[in-house]
Amino acid sequence: MKSKLFIVAVSILITVTTSCKKEQTTPTNNNPAIVADINVEYKITNQSSNVVIEYLAPVQGLQGLQTLTDTISKTFKSYIFTVNENELLSVKSWNNNPSWNTVTVDIYVNGSLFKTGTNSNTNNVAKAEGIFGE
């Protein structure tokens, strides 16, 4: 009987000790991620000298990027601005009059080509977009 009680007591002790685990905690990082500023340039090149441009860019006095539209009557246009990385960058352009003339849009980040797009016979809109920093 004593040996049975001893075995039961030992098995209860083993069960209690092994079932209690020390809680693991993950250290928290109270420092927010550093978001860097990036220099962005949208370049629009076209053959028709008559295109519509739709692009995301900062507007003074407003937060984030806003959709802006422009119509140009020349074969090249550039927009330059600075924003935080991890923002959606987007530029689209198309011929103002129905035309198969080529339109090319480029996004440069810190002087290097990031995204490019060209219209084609199946898609009349040249589009380039992406999030830099992901």
pLDDT at residue 107 is higher than 70: yes
Average pLDDT, the chain: 84
pLDDT at 98: 81
pLDDT tens for 56-98 read: 999 998 888 999 999 999 999 999 999 999 999 999 999 998 8
Among 66, 46, 62, 45, residue whose Cα is nearest residue 54:
66
pLDDT at residue 53 is higher than 70: yes
Q: Which domains does the chain have, with CATH numbers?
A: 37-131 (2.60.40)
* Cα atoms in the Cβ-side hemisphere of radius 13 Å centred on 64: 3
The phi and psi torsions of 32 (rounded to 5 degrees) equal -65, 155
pLDDT at 1: 57
Tell me, letter by letter, the H, E, C secondary structure of 26-70: CCCCCCCCCCCEEEEEEEEEECCCCEEEEEEEECCCCCCEEEEEE
